[in-house]
Amino acid sequence: MNKKQKKVLWRILAAAALMIVFALLPLDHLPLLRFVLFLIPYFTIGYDILIKAYKGVRNKQPFDENFLMAVATVGAIALGEYTEGVAVMLFYQIGELFQSYAVGKSRRNISDLMDIRPDYANVEGEDGELEQVDPDEVEIGTMIVVKPGEKIPIDGIVREGQTTLNTSALTGESVPREAGVGDEVISGCINLTGLLKIETTREFGESTVSKILELVENASSRKSRSEAFISKFARIYTPAVCYSALALAVVPPVISLLLSQGAHVGTWVYRALTFLVVSCPCAVVISIPLSFFAGIGGASNAGVLVKGSNYLETLSRVKYVVFDKTGTLTQGVFRVTNIFCVKLRHEELLEYAALAESFSTHPISKSLVEAYGKPVDQSRVTDVQEISGHGVIAKVDGTSVACGNEKLMSQMNLTALPCQQAGTVVHVAVDGVYSGYILISDEEKPDSKAAIAALKQAGIRQTIMLTGDRKAAAEQVAADLGIDQVYSDLLPAGKVEQVEKLLGSKGKNEQLAFVGDGINDAPVLSRADIGIAMGALGSDAAIEAADIVLMDDNPLKIAKAINISRKCIRIVYENIIFAIGVKLACLVLTAFGLSNMWFAIFADVGVMVIAVLNAIRALNVKNL
Amino acid sequence: MKKTYKIDVDCANCANKMEVAANETAGVKQATVNFMTLKMIVEFEDGADPKTVMPEVLANCKKVEDDCEIFL
């Protein structure tokens, strides 16, 4: 508790003690003394509310809750209900105190969960002594030292040392990762075993850890529809309750007076004042953003970064999950598994292909270069022409070499030999003559099958896979994993088209999520209702394009993310219905004289306490 | 232009009121108040100078909720 909260706590305790003592004293025959005595706890607990109420009136804010509380309590005292007048003020303050304590506590909880901000970086001075400096001041290319047990403060490349890294704060993955000389390491990881010397490749502000913190902190600023609904509701609710209170105080007494049955002004004014006690919408207004904040915090602790409350809401309604195959459901690590030649020797074919593709960064190209195994002399390659979705045409030692899929071959009026095995086939034509193919396969991720099953269990209607691969290979993978629909032979643009078709055919309240690895699929990520990028650690483009970022590349996290969002949204709805329901019930009962100010106090403060406690539940995402 | 300011306010509904007040201030294109992180993100109209707009925003917020602060 901070100073302000402690002060309020003391005032609450003092006022409560005084109120109880005075209520027990036999003062019935001394009305004036009783009145004066009760003013002591009233002002002790309520002076700041009264001052704020006065300021509210001066600023022409009639529906300011301080003003409403002031009217309700002054009214109750005027009616001779001293205990209730003091009690309303007392419980209002207890509610405010609880709220500010709970919110402060969850703010701290969530920042503890995201406790990945490094405080310093060790820089080696000229005399070999280590100096701790602010990470913000470290320039790109500086050599920093990370001792065992310390966080890596800035992204960089290991230049000396060998260690294991704990990445759990970033990915939720508890198995440590190995890192050695030449490896890229990411800020926020904890160095477990060995001393590392790291050459920084980014400034602190551009490092992974800063990016993640910024993303999570700003996430709750993108408001969801529930939040928009509640703030609109709050704007209407308070004036509506106040006007009904006014009507309740005036209309029934006038009517009964006209019917000459006696006005009973006191009874109706008491009921009207009770209305004012429940007129503050704080319970609902606080619990909704708090639920989202806790949900986003819990998700980031599990390695799922959600970029906004609105995305959490959309995610909870996802019915279709569209996957990109490579790198998402499969490892994305390609290996040459077969070579078939028409004329040349195996090595020659591989050499031509590896050289022609040596300028490309595509995983397939890399695997060719890797299988070739010898250093690539790129000066032998000229006139490189990359044809998106088809392949590469280049000159190797002056000879024209074309590497790519069947489409490329048919474009060149060549007949490619069919290949029945699963995988990606690179056909090679040398000097305009078809020369054979190289088969490259990609392995499924060990968790892919379980991930699809988990999605089915979470009530996802359809799982769909998009791939640039051939039909045979794609269908084999899909059947193996249990995916409902496959669209194969797609160019990158075709993926967007296919997603648009799917978006057009789904129901109005059903959402479509696209899951990709962030390489080449940024347009699809942003086109889908929800774009989920996985294994995005260190890939800025993916973090930029996606709405939800899975820090590691385990597809099981998709179902987990959906479950987290559903839990959070369920809590939000529980709170909305519960809080509004109790308040309305209280209003109706009060209007008919079936409730009193004590019930109204519960409807105001009790409901808020329960709603806040319920909201905090969203933080716990362990067993989802 | 978008800028983020740290704020201090006690209750969630007051934060909503501040948001409405800030949005109604001349020169503000869009303002979002994040009660959980106690931040106000203000997007200014083209040509508006934050140095002159923000004191106005603060004054308007003070009108709806006396007990609030924007750290300029």
**pLDDT tens, position by position, A458-503:** 999 999 999 877 787 788 888 989 999 999 888 878 888 899 999 9
- Whether residues A235 and B20 touch (CB distance < 8 A) is answered with yes
Asked if the model's pLDDT at residue A286 lies above 80, the reply is: yes
pLDDT at A620: 86
Distance CA A483, CA A480 (A): 8
Q: A121-145, pLDDT tens digit by residue?
A: 888 877 778 888 888 888 888 889 9
Residues of A with Cβ-Cβ distance to B12 under 8 angstroms: 99, 282, 285-286, 289-290
Residues of A with Cβ-Cβ distance to B64 under 8 angstroms: 59, 61, 64
Asked if the model's pLDDT at residue A539 lies above 70, the reply is: no
Q: What's the token pair of residue A349? A: 């074919």
Structure confidence at residue A389 as a pLDDT band (50, 70, 90): confident
Residues of A with Cβ-Cβ distance to B41 under 8 angstroms: 218, 221
On whether both A320 and A453 belong to a single domain, the answer is yes
Q: A429-439, pLDDT tens digit by residue?
A: 988 888 888 88
Question: Which contacts qualify for A427-434: CB closer than 8 Å, 24 or more apart?
Answer: A427/A391, A427/A403, A428/A349, A428/A352, A428/A353, A428/A401, A428/A402, A428/A403, A429/A401, A429/A402, A430/A344, A430/A349, A430/A352, A430/A399, A430/A400, A430/A401, A431/A399, A431/A400, A431/A401, A432/A400, A433/A343, A434/A342, A434/A409
Q: What's the token pair of residue A396? A: 């190797």
Domain that holds residue A130: 121-150+154-206
- Whether residues B13 and A234 touch (CB distance < 8 A) is answered with yes
Q: A301-311, pLDDT tens digit by residue?
A: 888 888 889 99
- Whether residues B66 and A59 touch (CB distance < 8 A) is answered with yes
CA B50 to chain centre: 11
Domain that holds residue B41: 2-71
CATH assignment at residue A406: 3.40.1110.10
Distance CA A154, CA A507 (A): 45
Q: How many domains does chain B have?
A: 1
Chain A residues whose C-beta sits inside 8 Å of any chain B C-beta: 52, 55-56, 59, 61, 64-65, 96, 99-100, 103, 106-107, 217-218, 220-221, 223, 231, 234-235, 280-282, 285-286, 289-290, 293
pLDDT at A406: 84
On whether both A407 and A533 belong to a single domain, the answer is no
Residues of B with Cβ-Cβ distance to A65 under 8 angstroms: 11, 13
Asked if the model's pLDDT at residue A42 lies above 90, the reply is: yes
Write down which residue in A443, A465, A495 finishes a domain: A443
> Mean of the pLDDT values across residues B26-32?
91
On whether both A438 and A448 belong to a single domain, the answer is no
Size of interface A-B (CB pairs under 8 A): 67
pLDDT at A317: 93
Structure confidence at residue A512 as a pLDDT band (50, 70, 90): very high
A487 in a structural domain: yes
> Mean of the pLDDT values across residues A181-209?
87
pLDDT at A114: 64
Q: A140-171, pLDDT tens digit by residue?
A: 888 899 988 888 889 899 998 888 888 877 77
On whether both A456 and A552 belong to a single domain, the answer is yes
C-alpha to C-alpha distances, A191 to A166, A167, A204, A538, A544, nearest whole angstrom? 6, 9, 18, 17, 27
Write down which residue in A165, A181, A206 finishes a domain: A206
- Whether residues B66 and A55 touch (CB distance < 8 A) is answered with yes
On whether both A470 and A403 belong to a single domain, the answer is no
Say whether the ipTM exceeds 0.95. Answer: no
- Of A275-279, A343-347, B10-14, highest mean pLDDT: A275-279
- Whether residues B34 and A61 touch (CB distance < 8 A) is answered with no
Asked if the model's pLDDT at residue A578 lies above 90, the reply is: yes
A579 in a structural domain: no
Q: A73-108, pLDDT tens digit by residue?
A: 999 999 888 888 899 899 989 988 888 888 888 778
Residues of A with Cβ-Cβ distance to B23 under 8 angstroms: none
A476 in a structural domain: yes
With contact defined as beta carbons under 8 Å apart, do A396 and A381 qualify? yes
pLDDT at A115: 67
A402 in a structural domain: yes
CATH assignment at residue A496: 3.40.50.1000
CATH assignment at residue B63: 3.30.70.100
Q: What's the token pair of residue A169? A: 């704060």
> Mean of the pLDDT values across residues A359-367?
79
Q: A108-123, pLDDT tens digit by residue?
A: 877 776 667 788 888 8
Residues of A with Cβ-Cβ distance to B62 under 8 angstroms: 59
Nearest residue on chain B to A288, judged by CA atoms? B12
Compare CB distances from B36 to A234, A285, A289 and report the shortest one's residue.
A289
Radius of gyration of chain B from its Cα atoms, rounded to whole angstroms: 11
Query: Which of B2, B11, B13 to probe by mutation at the A interface, max A CB count within 10 Å?
Result: B13
On whether both A434 and A448 belong to a single domain, the answer is no
A397 catalytic? Reply is no
Q: How many domains does chain A have?
A: 3
- Whether residues B11 and A56 touch (CB distance < 8 A) is answered with no
Asked if the model's pLDDT at residue A297 lies above 80, the reply is: yes
- Whether residues A100 and B10 touch (CB distance < 8 A) is answered with yes
Structure confidence at residue A349 as a pLDDT band (50, 70, 90): confident
pLDDT at A17: 92
Query: Which of A103, A227, A237, A278 to probe by mutation at the B interface, max B CB count within 10 Å?
Result: A103
On whether both A403 and A500 belong to a single domain, the answer is no
Asked if the model's pLDDT at residue A538 lies above 60, the reply is: no
Distance CA A426, CA A353 (A): 9
On whether both A537 and A501 belong to a single domain, the answer is yes
Nearest residue on chain B to A281, judged by CA atoms? B13
List Cβ neighbours of A47 (8 Å cut-off, separation of 6 or more). none
